[in-house]
């Protein structure tokens, strides 16, 4: 991330502040925060732990603030706000202004009409631009125009700054007569960025029903596209990992076999039938065998030594186009790795396939790629696999990453915060409720998963807070171009 400046370029009011993504970017650009507004108590506590806000105006429910209270805040140069986007998002029901959350834009307009800041700096999903065929965005532009603001906007993708595909529209309102200059369009000065849309490819599901059209939390994705969108509910998956069924029919609850790394299924009476857990076993084709040493291993233990007699399985999960079976086979991560050959490269290396609405019908995922879990059986979705980067961090879809040994794991809360450009000290401040503790953990090189400090914010809230935030590096990149002129005469006029 680019370094900001300590110069005080002006003041700003942080509306719909969340955990402070706007604030971090604005402060890096040299602006000073005078107050913040956030209705979510968990996000507000994280915000306070990160920044220390004792001398600032603190607001909760923006709809309950009187005009007199707002007027008492005093002069500010900029109002920032990522007003709630669920009413306009392509991932939601898109009720727009008929949704209570959609009407919160007019609270920003109320603040602007009273405080008359020289700049408005707003953010929302790109779906705002075409919601109701553009009528919603036209209403926003008309409202700001009537308040005396000339408006410009531009669509930015976070993948130009971090490893996350996140398209957002940024709106700048210039108060007429304040002397601020047009900012957009902006392009990155540092090198070129891949402008192609990221692709997500669905690999499958860990749910027992194996229904890719449902159970979105259990979906897995290939890794040769963008990372799947981060959400506030990623912490809930996987609940159980089903690796197979031992019944001849391939179905039935009593025959389900579960991975030992997932949660245990519900224990039932089942007429003596117990739940089954998959563990490594030597010579599985023989019911009994006379041998020295153990025949079974604990979960995650190394596999047995390979011999000329013992049998160890390789599970072939499918195949892709190719003349040679060994080069075209797709292997399950539950079996052993096949023999490495001189052809294990050039596209013939092991891979995981994720279903997509393409001509091939799939996209191959490799280690380091992300996989989006949302709607795995959809016949219309593409871009499920992230090529060494993540998809949008939000609060609904699911995503994971493919490891070097072709295992699929969730992102940690810290990784989600990093995808939004938050420094580690900010994440640790929110997790432990103290910036001092965060600095001690970092300076002493402590493992924040195993230290003497108590976690104050749950992982579920940390996931949610990352998904609801803005990308700090994008906020800074735009804000560093702001220039607030010293228009004293104008200020006296505007206060009349």
Catalytic residues: 85
C-alpha–C-alpha distance, residues 286 and 103, integer Å: 68
* Cα angle 28, 168, 359; round to 5: 135
| C-alpha Rg value of the chain to the nearest Å | 27
| Phi-psi category of residue 350: left, alpha or beta, with phi > 0 → left and psi -120 to 50 → alpha | beta
Give 395's contacts (C-beta < 8 A, 6+ positions apart).
Answer: 231, 232, 233, 464, 467, 468
The answer to whether 374 and 368 are in contact (CB under 8 A) is no
- Cβ pair 367, 400 in contact under 8 A: no
**CB-count burial class (<10 Å; 0-12, 13-18, 19+) for 274:** exposed
Helix, strand, or coil (residue 208): coil
Cα–Cα dist 488/291, whole Å: 91
Distances (CA, A) of 433 to 43, 231, 232, 416: 11, 22, 19, 18
Q: Classify burial at 248, counting beta carbons within 10 Å of its beta carbon; exposed 0-12, middle 13-18, buried 19 or more.
A: exposed
Give the angle subtended at the CA of 436 by the CAs of 430 and 439, to the nearest 5°: 85
In degrees and rounded to multiples of 5, residue 436 shows phi and psi of: -65, -45
Q: Which residues contact 174 (CB under 8 A, 6 or more apart)?
A: 118, 119, 149, 150, 151, 152, 180, 182
Alpha-carbon distance of 153 to 82, in angstroms, equals: 14
**Nearest alpha-carbon partner for 151 in 105, 186, 103, 183:** 183
Q: Of all helices (H) and strands (E), which one includes residue 128?
A: helix 127-130
How far is Cα 38 from Cα 47, in angstroms, rounded to an integer? 9
Closest by CA position to 369, among listed 388, 392, 393, 347: 388
Contact 471, 166 (CB under 8 A): yes
E-only strand ranges, 41-94: 57-59, 78-81
């Amino acid at each position: 991330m680019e370094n900001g400046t300590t110069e005080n370029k002006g003041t700003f009011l942080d509306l719909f502040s969340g955990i402070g993504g706007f604030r971090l970017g604005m402060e890096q650009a040299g602006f000073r925060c005078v107050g913040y507004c956030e209705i979510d108590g968990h996000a507000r506590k994280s915000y306070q732990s990160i920044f220390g806000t004792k001398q600032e105006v603190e607001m909760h429910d923006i709809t309950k603030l009187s005009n007199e209270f707002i007027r008492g805040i005093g002069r500010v140069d900029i109002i920032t706000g990522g007003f709630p986007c669920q009413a306009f998002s392509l991932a939601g029901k898109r009720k727009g202004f008929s949704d209570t959350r959609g009407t919160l834009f007019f609270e920003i307009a109320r603040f602007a009409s009273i405080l008359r800041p020289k700049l408005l700096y707003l953010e929302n999903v790109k779906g705002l631009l075409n919601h109701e065929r553009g009528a919603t965005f036209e209403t926003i532009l008309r409202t700001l125009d009537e308040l005396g603001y000339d408006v410009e906007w531009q669509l930015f993708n976070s993948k130009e700054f971090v490893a996350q595909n996140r398209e957002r529209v940024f709106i700048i309102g210039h108060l007429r007569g304040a002397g601020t200059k047009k900012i957009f369009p902006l392009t990155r000065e540092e090198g070129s960025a891949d402008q192609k849309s990221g692709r997500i490819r669905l690999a499958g599901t860990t749910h027992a029903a194996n229904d890719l059209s449902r159970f979105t939390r259990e979906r897995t994705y290939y890794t040769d596209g963008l990372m799947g969108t981060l959400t506030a509910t990623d912490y809930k998956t996987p609940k159980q990992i089903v690796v197979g069924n031992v019944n001849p029919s391939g179905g039935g609850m009593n025959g389900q076999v579960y991975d030992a790394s997932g949660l245990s299924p519900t224990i039932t009476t089942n007429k003596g039938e117990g739940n089954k857990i998959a563990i490594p076993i030597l010579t599985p084709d023989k019911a009994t065998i006379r041998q020295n040493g153990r025949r079974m291993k604990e979960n995650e233990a190394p596999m047995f030594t390979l011999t000329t007699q013992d049998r160890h399985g390789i599970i072939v999960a499918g195949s892709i186009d190719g003349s040679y079976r060994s080069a075209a086979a797709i292997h399950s991560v539950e079996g052993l790795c096949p023999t490495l050959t001189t052809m294990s490269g050039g596209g013939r290396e092991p891979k995981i396939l994720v279903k997509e609405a393409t001509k091939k019908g799939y996209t191959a995922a490799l280690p380091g790629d992300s996989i989006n879990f949302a709607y795995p059986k959809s016949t219309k979705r593409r871009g499920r696999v992230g090529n060494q980067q993540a998809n949008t961090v939000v609060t609904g879809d699911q995503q994971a990453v493919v490891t070097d040994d072709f295992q699929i794991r969730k992102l940690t809360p810290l990784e989600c915060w990093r995808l939004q450009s938050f420094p580690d000290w900010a994440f640790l401040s929110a997790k432990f409720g103290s910036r001092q503790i965060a600095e001690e953990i970092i300076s002493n090189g402590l493992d924040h998963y195993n230290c003497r400090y108590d976690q104050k914010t749950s992982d579920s809230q940390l996931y949610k807070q990352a998904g609801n935030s803005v990308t700090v590096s994008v906020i800074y990149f735009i804000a560093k171009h702001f220039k607030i002129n010293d228009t004293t005469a104008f200020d006296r006029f505007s206060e009349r």
